[in-house]
Structure 1
Amino acid sequence: MSAVEQVEQQLAGLRIARRCVPSEEPAYLLDIHTSGAAQPGASPLVAVSCSNESLRVYDGDTLRLLREYGARGGALAGVRFAHTSASLLFSACSQGTVKCWDVRSAMQKPVQVFSGYPSNVFISFDISCSDLIVCAGTEKVEKDTFLVFWDARGITDCASATKEPLGVYSESHNDDITKICFHPVEPNLVVSGSTDGLVNVFDINKDNEDDALISTCNSDSSVSSLGWAGEDYKQVYCMTHDEGFCWWDTARLDTEEPITLLHVLDAREAVSAENHSLQYLVGGFYHEKAGKLFLLGGAATGDVHLLSCSTEGLSLVGTLRGGHAATVRSCCWSPTEESLLTGGEDAQLLLWKPGAVERSLAKKASLKISSSVQKRVRVHNTSLKSRKK
């Protein structure tokens, strides 16, 4: 059996190891991230941003709630642990700030606030792999949309200080910047996606925005998610709000070969022959051991579908059932633990591991949340000009 087949079999065999059902006011789980640099023998941490504007931190092994930071500062636009410290956690919010929290402290006060410009509404952000630069993307205000950058050094030395931006990129997108993702190993590379359909790769070491823009790829739709893939992470992929998928190879930029590896207008149709219940895409991850890109999708019933990507198309690897009772909104693959975390509109956080057996086998009641919660979650307008078929 090849390494790819082994990994696909392992993914298809993921089972629920832990389940966390918050007892308080239910909220959609919008984004999930795990810490990487825990102490030897210590559990990793899991952070979740919720639709009620709270930020929760869990023990990665038991899913026990350790910290919760309250609903202040507007809707959250993602959550990220620092790469070099498991105790520093970043979150961006719609009120134009990125905050850094020290999860060792029970204080409801961030150790650092990165402030934007007065009109900024942040809906995406990330931190470079070296933890030196924070970047956030804004909603469009009048004609302006920005990538805002800060120097993230010296967080623990200047508690509660507010940092001003280093500067902005303002010319490369003309609509809401929905996703930002720094390169996993090259701290100067960052990719951004927008409702304008563009996916831009920048080298932020360059002196100005024009020189920094390495490549512009067009998804022909509104970008909902993106990431890096491939050997040395030279590939970029994105998902769109109308369930499309695009995959490009930036290593081909200076060659005669086309950079588009795959462009699927509608993933629901692309895998319908195998599974009729794929209704949406959630996210993706690159599996280094298999050298393979995988996507996660799902159905409104809560089923999670694992899809394998090749230049020939998308194919179903397996379906994870019995977990969620409603739409899955977020996912996070942990390569060190070889486990998957998923969160959804049923307020559940699930940890999936190969061949796991869930401790509690009590029958789960339906956890579908009233649609009133939806009012708190921004839904991007995906009505775009007709696309080329």
Structure 2
Amino acid sequence: MEKIEEQFANLCIVNRSSPPKEPTYLLGIDTSKTVQAEKGSLVAVLCSSGSIRIYDKETLSILREFSGHPGLLNGVKFANSCDSVYSASTDGTVKCWDARLASAKPVQLFKGYTSNIFISFDVNCNDHVICAGTEKVDEDALLVFWDARINSQALSTTRDPLGAYSETHSDDITQVCFHPSNPNMVVSGSTDGLVNVFDISIDNEEDALVTTCNSVSSVSSIGWSGKDYKQIYCMTHDEGFCWWDLNQLDTDEPITCLNIQDVREIANVKEGNLDYLIGGLYHEKMDKLFVIGGTNTGRIHLLHCTTSGLTHVSSLQGGHTATVRSFCWSTQDESLLTGGEDAQLLLWKPGAVEKTSTKKDSLKIASSVHQRVRVHSNDAYKRRKNQRCDVGS
């Protein structure tokens, strides 16, 4: 079996999306998990304009676009069992669309509490629970939960929360990520530097908190890795990287596998430099964790993660002309989708030949997208006795 390092090195561009009418940064990518070959696989892309575009994966043609109006959308995620696509919204809702329908209205609306502004979310592996993280308002930064099952609440198109966690983060909750196979395990990350692991089958927030890890910086990305997914990793807004092993929680061994405050200072890439981190990639079959980063000119780097550090493996170039913001790796066909500040969505496959005849000019937007990210807070861990709930039932 070809190693992922070789697969990545052999990737070539097979297709590019057509230039949009209004250039926009591509901030997030997810692909449909259902098998409907006769209808084609779908790709959902979060745009900096606050909308979601649905593409045909092979042709990269735009099929439809969903607007978060009156709010802007944050994050994009397909359901695991159907072609519903979700996104958190700054209007205090999580919206769900049917990606195969052209309807402008969401098919489901998950309402939060008064003054909630959702900036992160995820759906658990059996599509039963949604969890969204809020901006800090007054003294509250909440994790809000909903029952996402289709047969609940008499098929109502609007759902109220099951409840919320309010005591374990003291600033904006920038990341929420459910365990890939355990529907009750979820990890959250915040600009307060904390990465919290919860078992939501436990009755209350205090007891549900399995462990707290400290990245000592504002969290930008989190994920699960390792055998049986008992490890978590984290990237920060100042390009730090942390990796923890939850197997060590009940032992005397430290749970920290790796802690790098600034990857840019230690990464020895073979071609050019490393300007930023994009995200993590755990390859289950090979039991290897990789970190993907890039340069401001569009080059993409793959780094292998071990307890000894990060080692540069391979690079991709000739595709993007500006910062790459998002990617999605497919283990089924070993393909890679990438999106960036040049408004391009690229499909890479091993040994492929590009179908488009000419390379697109850069469509990088002149002004930067202002992400809603607060400066890291050094406030001590805060315990507030506000809302508690049972979200595991």
| TM-score (structure 1 length as normaliser) | 0.93
Q: Where does residue 381 of structure 1 map in the other structure?
A: 374
Q: Where does residue 49 of structure 2 map in the other structure?
A: 52
Contact 2:7–2:334 (8 Å) recurs in 1: no
> Equivalent of 2:287, from 283, 291, 304?
291
Where does the alignment leave 5 or more consecutive residues of structure 1 unmatched? none
Deviations 1:336-382 (A, max 9, x none): 221111111111111111111111231432222121x52xx424133
Contact 1:112–1:159 (8 Å) recurs in 2: no
The verdict on how the C-alpha distance between 1:203 and 1:187 changes in structure 2, with shifts beyond 3 A counting, is same
Q: Where does residue 331 of structure 2 map in the other structure?
A: 335
Q: Where does residue 64 of structure 2 map in the other structure?
A: 67
- Per the TM alignment, residue 77 of structure 1 is displaced from its structure 2 partner at its CA by 1.1
Q: How do residues 213-292 of structure 1 correspond to structure 2 at under 5 angstroms?
A: 213-272=209-268, 274-292=270-288
Q: How do residues 1-389 of structure 1 correspond to structure 2 at under 5 angstroms?
A: 6-40=3-37, 42-70=39-67, 72-85=69-82, 87-154=83-150, 161-272=157-268, 274-371=270-367, 374=369, 377-385=370-378
More relative contact order, 1 or 2 (CA 8 Å, 6+ apart): 2
Contact 1:20–1:64 (8 Å) recurs in 2: yes
Contact 1:134–1:150 (8 Å) recurs in 2: yes
- Per the TM alignment, residue 21 of structure 1 is displaced from its structure 2 partner at its CA by 3.3
Give the SS at the match of 1:69: strand
- Per the TM alignment, residue 314 of structure 1 is displaced from its structure 2 partner at its CA by 0.4
Q: Measure, in 1, the Cα distance between the counterparts of 2:152 and 2:49.
A: 28
Q: Measure, in 2, the Cα distance between the counterparts of 1:351 and 1:281.
A: 20
- Per the TM alignment, residue 44 of structure 1 is displaced from its structure 2 partner at its CA by 2.0
Q: Measure, in 1, the Cα distance between the counterparts of 2:234 and 2:17.
A: 29
Q: Measure, in 2, the Cα distance between the counterparts of 1:235 and 1:81.
A: 23
- Per the TM alignment, residue 385 of structure 1 is displaced from its structure 2 partner at its CA by 4.9
- Whichever residue aligns with residue 361 of structure 1, its letter is S
When structure 1 is superposed on structure 2, of 225-234 and 328-337 the one drifting more is 328-337
Q: Measure, in 2, the Cα distance between the counterparts of 1:73 and 1:158.
A: 26
Q: Measure, in 2, the Cα distance between the counterparts of 1:42 and 1:157.
A: 31
When structure 1 is superposed on structure 2, of 234-243 and 63-72 the one drifting more is 63-72
- Whichever residue aligns with residue 183 of structure 2, its letter is P
Contact 2:268–2:311 (8 Å) recurs in 1: no
- Whichever residue aligns with residue 14 of structure 1, its letter is L
Q: Measure, in 2, the Cα distance between the counterparts of 1:273 and 1:79.
A: 30
Give the SS at the match of 2:6: helix
- Per the TM alignment, residue 383 of structure 1 is displaced from its structure 2 partner at its CA by 4.5
When structure 1 is superposed on structure 2, of 339-348 and 362-371 the one drifting more is 362-371
- Whichever residue aligns with residue 13 of structure 2, its letter is I
- Per the TM alignment, residue 75 of structure 1 is displaced from its structure 2 partner at its CA by 2.0
Q: Measure, in 1, the Cα distance between the counterparts of 2:68 and 2:135.
A: 21
The verdict on how the C-alpha distance between 1:55 and 1:61 changes in structure 2, with shifts beyond 3 A counting, is same
Q: Measure, in 2, the Cα distance between the counterparts of 1:157 and 1:106.
A: 25
Give the number of aligned pairs: 379
- Whichever residue aligns with residue 373 of structure 2, its letter is H
Give the SS at the match of 1:211: helix
When structure 1 is superposed on structure 2, of 114-123 and 15-24 the one drifting more is 15-24
Q: Measure, in 1, the Cα distance between the counterparts of 2:58 and 2:172.
A: 36
Contact 2:133–2:174 (8 Å) recurs in 1: yes
Contact 1:242–1:382 (8 Å) recurs in 2: no
Give the SS at the match of 2:3: helix
- Per the TM alignment, residue 98 of structure 1 is displaced from its structure 2 partner at its CA by 0.4
Q: Measure, in 2, the Cα distance between the counterparts of 1:307 and 1:75.
A: 33
Contact 2:195–2:212 (8 Å) recurs in 1: yes
Q: Measure, in 2, the Cα distance between the counterparts of 1:365 and 1:378.
A: 25
- Per the TM alignment, residue 63 of structure 1 is displaced from its structure 2 partner at its CA by 1.1
| TM-score (structure 2 length as normaliser) | 0.92
Contact 2:153–2:159 (8 Å) recurs in 1: no
Deviations 1:148-186 (A, max 9, x none): 000001169966621000000000100000000000000
- Per the TM alignment, residue 73 of structure 1 is displaced from its structure 2 partner at its CA by 2.9
The verdict on how the C-alpha distance between 1:40 and 1:357 changes in structure 2, with shifts beyond 3 A counting, is closer
Contact 2:67–2:104 (8 Å) recurs in 1: yes
Deviations 1:14-61 (A, max 9, x none): 111111133311111111111111225553211011111111111112
- Whichever residue aligns with residue 193 of structure 1, its letter is G
Q: Measure, in 2, the Cα distance between the counterparts of 1:332 and 1:33.
A: 6
The verdict on how the C-alpha distance between 1:307 and 1:382 changes in structure 2, with shifts beyond 3 A counting, is farther
Deviations 1:184-209 (A, max 9, x none): 00000000000000000000000000
- Per the TM alignment, residue 384 of structure 1 is displaced from its structure 2 partner at its CA by 4.8
Contact 2:18–2:61 (8 Å) recurs in 1: no
- Per the TM alignment, residue 13 of structure 1 is displaced from its structure 2 partner at its CA by 1.6
